[in-house]
Amino acid sequence: MVRLIMGVKGSGKTKQLIELINNAAKDEPGNVVCIEANRNMTYDIHYHIRLIDAQEYKLNNYDLFRGFISGLYAGNYDISHVFIDNLCKTVGREIDNDAEEFLHWLDVFGEKNNIKFTVTISADASLAPESMQRYL
């Protein structure tokens, strides 16, 4: 399952994401992971959440991101929810076909392995292609 949160800068995406992450820390039966473009949320999220700075791993394309998430899961089958903050900024690209394909891959991977994904993208929701609209 993929949930997509989109909005322009300053629309409250990060605040909403922090609230969702902290609720997941209390409610999720498994481990919760948060991947962000930099370490801005270090002091805002519950200490049980595994916070990953994507810059440390140079996750600058979707193939690397797929491999990274697959590796996370291979190393910890107890992951139940992964939050990805500002996907396009992390990868260094705008919304495009690759972003659509990545979200679809997350959806398939999540269904297969019983993992929920919540992803934020800093852009107007009207820019999302029709295939991405289903995740909003």
Residue range 42-60, pLDDT digits in tens: 888 989 999 999 999 999 8
Look up residue 73 and give its amino acid.
Answer: Y
- pLDDT > 70 in the chain, percent: 100
Helix or strand (DSSP H, E) at 106: helix 97-113
* Positions of E strands within 65-106: 79-84
pTM reported for the whole predicted model: 0.94
Query: Terminal CA-to-CA distance of the chain, rounded, Å?
Result: 11
Tokens of 80: 């139940």
What domains lie within the chain, and their CATH numbers? 2-133 (3.40.50.300)
Q: What is the per-residue pLDDT for 52? A: 94
Q: What is the per-residue pLDDT for 12? A: 87
